[in-house]
Amino acid sequence: MYIVLLCQKNKIMKATKITYWVTTAIVSIMMFYTAYAYLTQDTMVQAFHHLGYPDYFRVELAIGKVLGAILLIVPVSAKIKEWVYAGFVITFISAFIAHTASGDPVNYRAMPVIFLVLMLVSYFTYHKSNQPLKTA
């Protein structure tokens, strides 16, 4: 009976790790892409002006997104990952508020919420997969 329970727990842990890596990869890729777009596309310059942000904020946000995306996928201490997750939560919530306040269409408001949900799944599966196995 113990072996069956251990096998089931291993399958759950494997699914948890797969979920963690898939959601983390999606969030990281999106962060890399948006950082690249912030620095290279004129439409993003116009979008930041539309939202009322200065040019330097766009550059700072791009740098922060690249650093956060790297720290999210490399093995670093749990405290650093916590700060990365916190920073991205603030970023997604702020993006939702900014797009809502400026009267942007629903799809512009929905994207930060969708990525916030993906990131929260990543966060919770990160903590679940890093819990020690209880054998008692």
Q: Over the stretch 3-22, which tens digit does the pLDDT of each residue have?
A: 655 566 677 788 899 999 99
- pLDDT tens digit string along 59-110? 999 999 999 999 999 999 999 999 999 999 999 999 999 999 999 999 999 9
Residue whose token pair is 């702020």: 94
Per residue, what are the HEC states of the chain? CHHHHHHHHHHHHHHHHHHHHHHHHHHHHHHHHHHHHHHHCHHHHHHHHHHCCCHHHHHHHHHHHHHHHHHHHCCCCHHHHHHHHHHHHHHHHHHHHHHHHCCCCHHHHHHHHHHHHHHHHHHHHHHHHCCCCCCC
Confidence of residue 27 (pLDDT cuts 50, 70, 90): very high
> What are the sequence ranges of the domains in the chain?
19-129
pTM of the model: 0.86
2 has pLDDT over 70: no
> Could you give the CA distance from residue 94 to residue 65 in angstroms, rounded to a whole number?
14
pLDDT of residue 4: 58
pLDDT of residue 96: 97
pLDDT of residue 101: 95
pLDDT of residue 13: 81
Take residue 32 and report the two structure tokens written for it: 């890399």
pLDDT of residue 42: 96
Residue 126 contacts residue 82 (beta carbons within 8 Å): no
